[in-house]
Amino acid sequence: MRVVSTFEIESDGVGPFFKNGYILSCPATGNAIYIDPGDEASRLLARIRERRLSLIAVVLTHAHVDHITGVGQVVEEWGIPIYLHPEDRSIYDALPEWGYWFGLTCDPAPPPTDVLEEGQTLSLDCLRIRVHHTPGHSPGSVSLQVENHLFCGDTVFQGSIGRTDLPSSSYDVLIETIRNRILPLGDDTILYPGHGPVTTVGEERLYNPFLTGAARPVGF
């Protein structure tokens, strides 16, 4: 668990995708949100029960299969709202088909209840979440900013970027998004990606080969 200025962050990831799921909780109230419930959901739900937290929302950075396989399990237990950008709704609704493409059997996810939009601020207990529309990896990808912490989904990773060989993804749009919407947030902004370790805007500005022009994407 990582304790920052006004909230706590807990994360986990399991195979086959090793996708990071994040729990953001308010110490004073014990309320929490779950960002991108995937195959790690059973483990993080167990920690939520151990810590006696109360989940109040699921917030999705995007709707690719590895980021939503746990949504049904979470909502079945907690009965909470699901936030998703509308441009990813068709991907979200096609979860069984996307699962089949990756060799998985996936039930349909429960329908989203709330919409995420560029510039929106979600007030969820102590969390003030600024929504940045960050397309490229998917049309409706968003990054979620809490203070100087940015939960950026599969937009940018430590030393890499989200894959753009998937339907509805675009390398050119993704690079434009990172340059125009992520880097301007400042070098001290801490990035919590959908895969891999935590990094910063400053580190990626200097060393990410896709931003320095040294590489083009293959896979994740």
Domain 2-212 has CATH 3.40.190.150: no
Tokens of 71: 């949504």
pLDDT in tens, 126-177: 899 999 999 999 999 999 999 999 999 999 999 999 999 988 999 999 999 9
What is the model's pTM? Answer: 0.94
HSE-up of residue 114 (Cα within 13 Å, Cβ side): 13
The pLDDT value given to residue 99: 74
**2 to 11, 23, 24, 115, 169: CA distances (angstroms):** 9, 10, 10, 28, 32
**88 to 43, 95, 125: CA distances (angstroms):** 26, 11, 26
Count of other CB atoms within 10 angstroms of residue 19: 28
Count of other CB atoms within 10 angstroms of residue 76: 9
| pLDDT above 80: residue 5 | no
**117 to 90, 159, 186: CA distances (angstroms):** 16, 28, 22
Cβ contact 200:188 at 8 Å:
yes
Burial 101-138 (b: 16+ CB within 10 A, else e): eeebebeebeebeeebeeeeebebbebebbbbbbbbbb
- Extents of the domains making up the chain: 2-212
What count of residues does the chain have? 220
pLDDT in tens, 84-101: 999 999 999 999 887 787
Q: Does a cis peptide bond (omega within 30 degrees of 0) precede residue 110?
A: no
The pLDDT value given to residue 220: 39
Q: Tell me if residue 95 falls in helix, strand or coil.
A: helix
Tokens of 146: 């809490």
